[in-house]
Amino acid sequence: MHIPDGFLSLPVSLFCWIITLVFLQISLRKVQKDYEEKAVPLMGVCAAFIFAAQMINFPIPGGTSGHLLGGTLAGILLGPWAGTLVITVVFIVQAVLFQDGGLTVLGANVFNMGVIGTFGGYYLYKTIRVTLGRRRWMSMATATVVAAWVSVVTASIMTAIELSLSETVPLMVGMIAMVSWHILIGIGEAIITLIAVSFIWRSRPDLLYDPPVPYSVEINANKLS
C-alpha cells in the first residue's frame, strides 16, 4: 500500500499532493478552532499507539504480510480533522526513518491511507452507528468493523487507480493484486480497530470523539427498565 518513489507520474503525484494539502490545511484550522487543549495529549498518545501497532505485521497467504493502517481508528478516537493530522505525522515518520513509502509520493500515501481512512472511515462509522442506535455497543462494534474494513479496501482500490493512471501497471492487474490481498488485510484492520475502540468504549467512553452514555450509566438504565 505504501507507494515507493518513481511509481507515480508527476501529474498524478501533484494532484494527490494538492488534495492532501487542502485536507491538511482545513484540518489544522478546524483543530485550532474547535478542539480543546485536552485533545492534544490524546493526539500524541493515539499517534504513538498507531505507530507502534503498525510495526506489528500479521502474515497472509502468499508469503506477504499486512499491518494496521489506523485511519479509521484515529477518526473514531479524535474525529476526522485531528485524526488526519495524526495519521499524517505517523506516515511522515515512517517515510523518513524507515523508507516505508517514498517522500515524493507522500501526498498520495497520506491521501490513500490517511484521508480516506479518517474521513471516509469516520463518516461511514458514524452513519452506521446512528442508523443502528448510537448508544448501543453492538452498533458501535458493527460500525467499527465495517468502516475499518471498507477503508482499507477503498485505499487499495485508489492505489491501483493511481498506479494505472501513471501507467505503472494495467488497471485490472493492479486491482486484482491490491484488492485481493487487502480484503484479507482489512479483516486484521477491523479486528485491531474493534479491540482498541471497544476497550475505550467500556473504560473511558468520554475519550471518544462522539462518546456514548458512559457504560456504567447505560447498564444501570437497562436494569431499571
Task: Tell me the CATH number for domain 10-223.
Answer: 1.10.1760.20
Q: What is the pLDDT of residue 136?
A: 87
pLDDT above 70: percentage of residues in the chain: 88
Question: Burial code of 132-166, b = ≥16 C-beta within 10 A, e = fewer?
Answer: eebeeeebbbbbbbbbbbbbbbbbbbbbbbbbbeb
pLDDT digits (tens, 9 = 90+) for 65-98: 567 788 999 999 999 999 999 999 999 998 888 8
Q: What is the pLDDT of residue 20?
A: 95
The top-scoring range by mean pLDDT among 65-69, 96-100, 158-162, 180-184 is 158-162
* Whether 77 contacts 200, CB under 8 Å: yes
Q: What is the pLDDT of residue 218?
A: 44
Cell numbers for 15, please give them.
494532484
For the chain, give the mean pLDDT: 86
Using CA atoms, how far apart are residues 200 and 128, in angstroms rounded to an integer?
Answer: 19
Using CA atoms, how far apart are residues 4 and 103, in angstroms rounded to an integer?
Answer: 8
